[in-house]
Structure 1
Amino acid sequence: MELFVSFSEIMHFFKRTWIRFLVVVIVFGVACSLLSLKLFHRTYSANSTITLSCDIPEDAGTDYRLQYTNILASRVQTAVAQANTHSLIEKTAEKLGIDSSEIISIAGEQVLSAPVVKITVQTQSAGRAAEISDTAAQILADGIAQQFPSPKLTATLTDKAQPAKASSSKSAVLKAGILGAILGFLIYVIYGLICILGDRSVRNTRFAEEALKIDLLGEIPHSGGREAKEDAFRRIRAAALHKLDNAACIVVESVSDGDEGAETAAGLAVSLARTGKRVLLADGDLREPKFAGMFQLKPKRTFNDVLSGTCGLTDAVAEVKGVPGLSVVCGAKAEESPADLFAKGFANFAVEAKKLCDYLIVYAPSSTRYPDAENLAAASEAVILNVKYGSTSYVALRDALRRTTEAGGNVAGFVVASV
């Protein structure tokens, strides 16, 4: 298992999954926009004010005049209290002939220390907001005036409510969509970090190189087109030739299933042939042969026949059109164990092949599942391990290195596909 995660690995993960990333962000944005239409309702408010005053009798004494302020203040507090009761909502709805559920709330408060009460109405109806506010204020004013006949209390609706402007649903939907997209972004970032931190596959190739003391020969890009992949194989070719020195028989070993080892072997063979060398590519997957379909060949004789001694090597060799210098020995599904076939006949095959070509490239299927690669290793001059970025586990690479070395193979390095 890798012990650390670099920023470049995090960026690489999001670059590889940017389509999925974009889909998640869009889905969350659209979902929140639709939910805003269904679940969230816009509210509108309106304000009206009433002013209270008490008449002072002409024959009122000095003490009464001094208490006037306190008397008026108590009336204002009573009005505020009554404004905040549910009964005012019911009375307002009844007078307007509407359902009380249309009125979300009615609240009252004293404006600073003045004998003024502000009525605030909350409703979902923009067109009725001002009407409801003025009606509630008038009902409160009439009720408080009747409640305190002496000294005579006057309550007047002084400031009527301004009509509320209906807001467009588009702005609400847009805001909800933006918030949803941000939520989707954050969720996917967290998901990505969890995936990276919990990933035990080969991602940090330099870490694997240093930990296992094995050379990284190159990386094959996941995207970038044919030219980018051909350039990657040119780099692998240069690194391999330097590392392999005079080795002519090379086994490209898949560490695990689906790691594109056959493509790596074929790409390396084509790249070597383009240097003017004679290259023979042999399909060592005798369970699910790859190269006949890859190069559109229909061989009469196969690798199996050569290994079992039923035909000579030259009878099984097929030239590849369009790639001068490249020949292929195709495989077929074996009736007996492929590992046994390799153990019996591969050493002789390699000797004969070297007489016909400059380089022999043999593909071996998953060493995690099959013992084929170990039975090819000792008779070859070098082994290149192939892993797939983000798929092949670090433990599988370590075990493949150990098994191949123990079988007598000379591991030259490893290649990482689909980076």
Structure 2
Amino acid sequence: MDFKNLMRVARRRWRSIAAMFLLALSVSFAFSLTTTPVYESQTRIYITADSTSGQGNDIGANYFLVSQIKSYAQLANHAEVLKRTAEALDDNVTAADLAGRISATALPESLILQVTTHDTNPERAQKIAQAHAIVLTSYLEELETPKGDENPQIKATLTDPATYNPKPIAPRTLLNTVIAALLGLVLGCGLALVRELLDNTIHSMEEMEKTIDAPVMASVGIDPEIERKPLLTDLSGFSIRGEAFRVLRTNLQFLDLDSEIKSLVITSATAGEGKTTTSANLAIALAQTGRRVLVVDGDLRRPRIARLMGLEGAVGLTTVLVGRTELDASIQKHKESGVYVLASGPTPPNPSEILQSRAARDLILQLRDKFDAVIIDAPPILPVADATILATICDGAILVTRHGKTPRDHVQTAAQRLRSVNAKLLGAVVNFVPKQAAGGYYYYYYYAEQETRPKTGGRRKETTK
């Protein structure tokens, strides 16, 4: 994956990156706020050879001390030293309480011990450090006093009194925040890559065209008003969604110059991808050019066209096919758009058999001759065979998919099923495309906005792809 693709993934998965980043910062802040502050106090002890022992100027004595200084540092945490320190403090403190709070290190290339004490109170930390340093100097001289001799081999001198530091050394809020931010970004990017690798949906025009081996004829952006205003007649003259269907209308006109496409099946791989609104709005877009357009609700299982357009759904395709009503009497007209509508009629027990009948084929051919364009809203391809049956009768089919939701294998299988019955797959319409979709359809929205934006003294142009 090159840098360009990584940037596309970052733009597409920015929510995952931001979520991990904010989660890491939240945990860091919570840790900093709930952690009890820890204060530090330090003191230093200088170790030399005792001059009264006759070794003060002996070079060998200094080498001996250098080799022993690390051992002296380790004695700082010995039980006897901690016990004596606790007794010296006389503050209801035990040796066990002091364990872990005190440490000593030998400064490099020197004979100096640095004693460090940690406590939740800065005054107490200073008090413990001072008491411990005094006890340690006495204990070291006691250990280095030969048996039967009153003079110790070394002299331990407290050179620096215990320091007082009112600022806590922990938690380090700024450092923790920086580390958490970096860790959150790394985890967020990792999560984004994992989601991208596991995601088998289609996110770009190139992916879609490669999957179905047909062009993307239009992409319809996310519109928060689609539930309230699903039809083009509900929208104002300037609308990105309306422009998308005008693009689809234009592309249909130039799709096949040798043969006119008059009957068209609109279907999808699975339910919930927007095929019904696509059927209705394409019919409205075609009718806006002065054509006589009929939209047929061919979804005899879950009909929605009549309800979407505010018409009666009890009379329609099934009542005409069984001879209960005449065709002309069953066709309704949508007043706002001028689109003619043939609803589904009552739901039959055997939709596939009805659509596969000779009567259904003859009816569709009759409608094709009667109208300039016939749009059939068909059921999804994968659950049932209805769409493929209708596609064999019509001039072609358009596959509706949902950006970032429809799995690639579903789209590919749907396209294969159409071609397996020799139906003509004209292309795809991609619904719910986010404006910021990287590497996908953003260019269309940019140009659509530029072309459709009202200009002073000018006319709004129709965008084509």
TM-score calculated relative to the size of structure 2: 0.75
Q: 1:12/1:150 Cα in 2 relative to 1: closer, same or farther (>3 Å)?
A: closer
Determine if contact 2:49/2:55 at 8 Å carries over to the other structure: no
- Change in Cα spacing, 1:209 to 1:153, as seen in structure 2 (3 Å) is closer
1:364 maps to a residue whose letter is: A
C-alpha change, 1:154 and 1:407, in structure 2 (3 Å) is closer
Letter of the structure 1 residue corresponding to residue 246 of structure 2: R
Q: In 2, Cα distance between the equivalents of 1:314 and 1:19?
A: 53
CA distance in 1, matches of 2:134, 2:343: 97
SS in 2 for 1:378: helix
Correspondence for 2:104 among 99, 102, 107: 107
Tell whether 2:91 aligns with 1:95.
no
Residue number in structure 1 paired with 2:229: none
Contact 2:264 2:374 in 1 (8 A): yes
- Work out whether residues 102 and 124 of structure 1, in 8 Å CA contact, stay in contact via their aligned partners in 2: no
Measured against aligned partners, the alpha-carbon deviations of 1:231-272 in whole angstroms (never above 9, x if no partner) come to: 222222111121144211111121223222222222212221
1:269-306 Cα offsets, whole Å, 9 max, x none, are: 22212222222111111111122332233344122212
Shifted more, 153-162 versus 252-261: the winner is: 153-162
The change in CA–CA distance for 1:79 and 1:254 in structure 2 (over 3 A counts) is closer
How far does the alpha carbon of each residue in 1:99-119 deviate from its partner, in whole angstroms, 9 at most, with x for none? 3324522314267445x5433
**Distance change >3 Å, CA 265–CA 14, structure 1 → 2:** farther
Distance, in Å, in 1 between the alignment partners of 2:218 and 2:2 is 19
Report what 1:121 is aligned to: 117
Q: Which of 392, 410, 415 pairs up with 1:396?
A: 410
Offset, 1:154 = 5.1
Equivalent pair of 2:399/2:427 in contact (CA under 8 Å): yes
Could you say which residue in structure 1 is the equivalent of 2:202?
202
| Other-structure match for 2:162 | 161
Q: Residues 45 and 322 (structure 1 numbering): CA distance in 2 closer, same or farther, change over 3 Å?
A: farther
Q: Residue in 2 aligned with 1:377?
A: 391
Aligned to 2:254: 242
Cα distance in 2 for residues equivalent to 1:127 and 1:109: 25
**Whole-angstrom distance in 2 between the partners of 1:294 and 1:390:** 25
CA displacement at 1:36 relative to structure 2 = 4.6
What are the within-5 Å matches in structure 2 for residues 268-287 of structure 1?
Answer: 268-287=282-301
Q: CA offset at residue 180 of structure 1? A: 3.5
Q: What corresponds to 2:343 in structure 1?
A: 330
2:316/2:343 contact within 8 Å kept = yes
RMSD value, Cα: 3.4
* Matching residue of 1:183: 183
**Structure 2 vs 1, CA of residues 14 and 305 (structure 1 numbering), >3 Å: closer, same or farther?**
farther
Q: Secondary structure at the match of 1:310?
A: coil
Unaligned runs of 5+ in 2: 227-238, 434-465
Partner of 2:381: 367
Q: Is the 8 A contact 2:47 2:156 kept in 1?
A: yes
Alpha-carbon deviation of 1:95?
1.3
Whether the aligned pair in 1 keeps the contact of 2:212 and 2:412 (CA below 8 Å) is yes
Deviates more, 1:294-303 or 1:262-271: 294-303
Separation in 2, partners of 1:146, 1:401: 92
Which of 357, 363, 370 does residue 371 from structure 2 map onto? 357
The answer to whether the 8 A contact 1:34-1:173 is kept is no
Q: How many equivalent residue pairs?
A: 406
Change in 2 beyond 3 A, CA 1:54/1:406: closer
Q: Deviations over 1:14-39 (max 9, x none)?
A: 55554455334323321343245557
Distance 1:15 1:316 in 2: 50
Q: Which residue of 2 aligns with 1:61?
A: none
User: CA–CA distance in 2 between the matches of 1:208 and 1:112?
Assistant: 70
Note the C-alpha offset of 1:74. 4.8
* Structure 1 counterpart of 2:83, one-letter code: E
Match of 1:221 in 2: 221
Q: Secondary structure of 2:128's match?
A: helix
The 2-side partners of 1:209 and 1:232 are apart by 18
2:74: which partner in 1? 84
- The answer for the alignment partner of 2:355 in structure 1 is 342
TM-score normalised to the size of structure 1? 0.82
1:200-243 CA-partner distances (Å, limit 9, x unpaired): 33344324534654232222223587722222222221111211
Distance 1:361 1:393, change over 3 A: same
How far the C-alpha of 1:360 sits from its partner, in A, is 1.0
Structure 1 residue 368, shift from structure 2 partner: 1.0
1:220 aligned counterpart, secondary structure: strand
Distance 1:364 1:220 in 2: 19
CA change 1:157–1:20 in 2 (3 A) is: closer
Aligned mates of 2:153, 2:413 — CA distance in 1: 100
* Equivalent position SS for 1:89: helix
State, as a whole percentage, how many aligned pairs show the same letter. 22
